Amino acid sequence: MADYNKPIPVPDPFVNGPYWAGAKEGKLMLPRCTTCNHTHFYPRLLCPICGSRTIVWEQASGEGYLHTFAVQHRAFGAWGEETPFVTAYIDLKEGDRVFTVLRGVDPNQPEEIFKKIGSLCRVEFEEANDEVSIPYWRVVE
């Protein structure tokens, strides 16, 4: 395990436990409402569409499309050591959108990243500690 020096979330077994358990196994798990069939992200106890509590967890494809991005030139804590880096929104194949750090792109060439908007992206996981792996996304070349 590499030295991971960024903030590490504390999984909540009632709200997002399956999400983090899946990440530890290299799987993207998403909550789906069985009432309205909407898959959503971020994990929460109530469906953001219909308010139902009938949530099940399903393994997602781990793929989506680059919606937009921003180059971060300032950051706090350990992220400050990484600047510049690229954050992005990924439109999941399952229908929702996630915010992430985009890997494998050059933050000093935003015009090249701009050409990748709409490109297929895939999730990857970095082990932060023995209990948590962090999802990041990468454009599929």
pLDDT at 1 over 70: no
Please count the structural domains in the chain: 2
- Please choose, from the candidates 64, 59, 63, the residue with its C-alpha nearest in 3D space to the C-alpha of residue 25: 59
Domain annotation covers residue 47: yes
Q: Which residue has the tokens 């499309």?
A: 65
Answer yes or no: do 68 and 137 share one domain: yes
The pLDDT score that the predictor gives to residue 3 is 84
Whether residues 79 and 22 fall in one domain: no
Say what the pLDDT of residue 51 is.
Answer: 97
CA distance 137 to 69: 12
Give a yes or no: residue 2 inside a domain: no
Looking at the structure, do residues 99 and 32 belong to the same domain, yes or no? Answer: no
% of the chain surpassing 70 pLDDT: 99
What is the domain-level CATH number for residue 84? 2.40.50
- Write out the residue range of the structural domain in which residue 15 sits: 11-60
10 Å Cβ neighbour count for 116? 19
Looking at the structure, tell me whether residues 98 and 111 fall in a common domain: yes
pLDDT tens-place string over residues 78-118: 999 999 999 999 999 999 999 999 999 999 999 999 999 99
